[in-house]
Amino acid sequence: MADKVSAENDSRPSLPQELIDHTLDFLHDDVPALRVYSLASHGLLPRSRHHIYSGVFIIHDIDLDSFKELYAGLLLRTLRSMRLTTVHLKGIAYKTYADFEDVFTAVANPALKHLSIDSESEKMTSSNLPLSIRRPANGLPELESLSMSGDALSLELGSDTKKWVMQAVLDEMRDTLECLTLDIAPNGPGGNIGVDLRQHKKLKSFLVVLSFAMKTGFLKTTTFGAALQTLTVELHYNDWAPTDPSLAEVDAHINGLALPMLRHVHIKLHNNGGGDCHSFWCDGGYLPHDQDTWKNQVKDGAPLI
């Protein structure tokens, strides 16, 4: 009886792999249909998942090694197994450059269009970093948007721009990048040296988060391509006093930019201590007593704003 059942199972019709691949490629934009197909047959699941899953969002609060141990090393294998178009990783700490390199090469498939890495890493300096990133075997992606924030991913890699990991990444994306966001930590070496974006012919939007503890070096040494249309600068104060001369420097620098396509300039001012003011016990000490007066002082100090 067992032999008969086995023979019957073996005689069930099966589709050639080429036909499966062709069918799934034809339906690649119809995600509901692909999900039905993947549930109908185990044979369709491996190929259909490449079309069904296009984005990954991971929010974590410990270092990458602990993350990999906790999930039995599945993270990098999963990232490598799919042709993702969107990847957003937040909160993972990269203790070494190798950790960041492993993640970047895992997600850097040719289909990737939007990459956001928000790190909570310890500082990494040029003394323990190689001069360039390792190119993935299948080539670097043609990113359209790139967002990097956190200490180790905020260009804290020395004063020579050629040694910066981020500059190397940006150079690879010069033909495709349209939107760039950088959150620059106030501490660490090289924080006052900007990036060279002159070759980014499609870059239309640039957002940078800066602290006045850095003065204005990063912004003043960053160069832009002629296609830039929107510039957003978020400035973080250590306190609410608007008398820092850096404010006038920022105003004068932006006013003097020779960018023919620039249409929108947004300057946002924040208090670094604001995040520590919780509603349960805040006595208002982090806020200015007279906000209208403070706003007028800002206007007087920076007419462009």
Mean pLDDT of 224-251: 74
Distance CA 121, CA 89 (A): 13
Across the chain, how many H-helices and E-strands are there? Answer: 11, 10
Q: What is the mean pLDDT of residues 20-38?
A: 70
* Sequence-distant contacts of 288-291: CB under 8 A, at least 24 apart: 288/240
Between residues 239 and 194, the one the model is more confident about: 194
Q: Which of 132-136, 165-169, 277-281 has the least mean pLDDT?
A: 277-281
Enter the tokens of residue 84.
């993702």
Contacts by 22-31 with C-beta closer than 8 Å and gap 24+?
Answer: 24/48, 24/51, 27/51
In this prediction, residue 238 carries a pLDDT of 56
Specify the higher pLDDT residue, 176 or 158: 176
Q: State the pLDDT at residue 229.
A: 94
CA atoms within 13 A on the CB side of 173: 26
pLDDT tens figures, 55-103: 777 777 666 667 667 765 677 777 777 778 888 887 777 666 677 777 7
202 or 296, which is more confident?
202
Let me know the angle formed at the C-alpha of 213 by 303 and 269, rounded to the nearest 5 degrees: 40
- Output the pLDDT for position 190: 46
pLDDT given at position 48: 67
Q: What integer pLDDT is reported at residue 221 of this predicted model?
A: 84
Answer yes or no: is pLDDT of 295 > 90.
Answer: no
> Is 63 in contact with 92 (CB distance < 8 Å)?
yes
Q: Give the per-residue pLDDT at 158.
A: 34
Note the pLDDT of residue 137.
59
Say what the pLDDT of residue 231 is: 93
